[in-house]
Structure 1
Amino acid sequence: MVIKIWHGSEKIIKKPMYNEGKIHNDYGKGFYCTESKELAKEWACKEIGKDGFANCYEFDTDGLKILDLSDDKYNVLNWLAILAFNRNFKTSLSVAREAKKYLINNFGINTDDYDIIKGYRADDSYFAFARAFVNNQISVDELERAMKLGKLGEQIVLKSPKAFERIKYVEYEIAENQKYYHRRLERNKKAEDDFTELLINADIKGLHIIDIMRKEEENSD
């Protein structure tokens, strides 16, 4: 199936290159895209006063091995375990350090064999939800609800040389900074406000990471 995907950037990228990019992104090195042009334009405007670009591509997914974290066989802890493995978690509390290791060991997924990963995008505002969970501040149910706040959207990440062979540049659209930088700020502000409310009304009776570790729950449970 051929789909249209977008990559928000400060520059025009006609030929995405395999094995480039930051190693500590959500899913490690890869080319991060979305099917939403509007989200791509927000992601392209990280700094005030400078327009960005929404690069458009056609992408043929036929025959590619896809890890779709929205599939029913996966849960939010699988996503969080991958995030914990790839991103820098500053864990000052002992429970958070143990939680990070526990998630990776018991809910982690080996992503090396996949050509594409589809899943949540954890920008800074949403990364706070992940930290709150490993710090034992919110429950699993609250984490799942939090990840839907602000309509964050899914990202599609190209991981393998085979995937990079399938992507074809089409065009670009300018992301007007005056419009999309402020939209990005509004989205983040909404997420932060919702998160604050979530912490104030946190359910102490819900299933927290400390409960999961004590029960020695695993991905199959």
Structure 2
Amino acid sequence: MNKSLTLYHGSSLIIEQPEFGKGNPFNDYGLGFYCTQTLELAKEWACSMEQDGYANRYSFCTDSLSILNLSDENYNILNWLSILLMNRRFNLSSDIAAQGREYLASTFLLPYENYDVIIGYRADDSYFSFASAFLNNTISLAQLEKAMFLGKLGEQVVLKSEKAFSRLCFEESIPAERTIYYPKKATRDSEARAASRAERKADPVRDAVYMIDILREEWKNDDARLRGNLPE
């Protein structure tokens, strides 16, 4: 992936020079600078109920950078979830959830901190609730996989290393009005949750695989049942 990308970062601020080592360490993939290649999504992420925001636009050269693309066919949804578990704060409301967290970390966690850039799905409010529900054994693996298609949140591109930060060049800041983009963000989330509820009713429980089944059967990273779970 040696090419130039156009990236957008949604924020309440104009950010001409992102600072390496600053930010929220409890985001999906840990400390980093979180971007998207989609302008409209950046505008949604920029706005809160109370204030407008900006989609900061950058050019980004990926030449010689190491990139972990979690949508690649070599990875599966449990790789994504195990990274999420290392960084986001989950409510482990059962022994199964606690054991599941430990097992996923020991079996499916990738060396994600070794990469300059991570590309993967964003665990917005709805996605995070789906991941938490699976860990707590209340939705199946198939339901979690299908939830990745819901809401159409798209991929985020996360700059992790100082080298990656050095390849980012600010172009402009594009205003985003909260009266337009906050309702869009809220609608996207509510539609994803509604679609998930409908999917749960349609999913046959008899053949479903849950977190407890993965623990009992000791699934491994090369299990054929996990191939191609993340949508491209």
TM-score w.r.t. length of structure 1: 0.97
- Give the secondary structure class of the aligned counterpart of 1:150: helix
Where do residues 49-128 of structure 1 align in structure 2 (5 Å cutoff)?
50-128=51-129
Aligned to 1:44: 46
In structure 2, runs of 5+ residues without a counterpart are 224-232
Residue type of the partner of 1:29?
A: L
Aligned to 1:30: 32
Root mean square deviation, CA, Å: 1.0
Residue type of the partner of 2:40?
A: E
- Equivalents in 1 of 2:221, 2:104: separation in Å? 9
- Equivalents in 2 of 1:211, 1:195: separation in Å? 21
Q: Displacement, 1:200?
A: 3.1
Q: Displacement, 1:3?
A: 0.7
Once the two structures are overlaid, the 10-residue window that deviates more, 54-63 or 39-48, is 39-48
Residue pair 2:13, 2:53 contacting (<8 A) in 1 also: yes
Residue type of the partner of 1:78?
A: N
Once the two structures are overlaid, the 10-residue window that deviates more, 66-75 or 129-138, is 129-138
Residue pair 2:49, 2:182 contacting (<8 A) in 1 also: yes
Note if 1:10 corresponds to 2:7. no
Residue pair 1:7, 1:55 contacting (<8 A) in 2 also: yes
Residue pair 2:143, 2:200 contacting (<8 A) in 1 also: no
- Equivalents in 1 of 2:30, 2:167: separation in Å? 20
TM-score w.r.t. length of structure 2: 0.92
Q: Displacement, 1:195?
A: 2.2
Once the two structures are overlaid, the 10-residue window that deviates more, 86-95 or 33-42, is 86-95
Residue pair 1:137, 1:202 contacting (<8 A) in 2 also: no
Residue pair 2:13, 2:54 contacting (<8 A) in 1 also: yes
Q: Displacement, 1:141?
A: 1.8
- Equivalents in 2 of 1:86, 1:32: separation in Å? 14
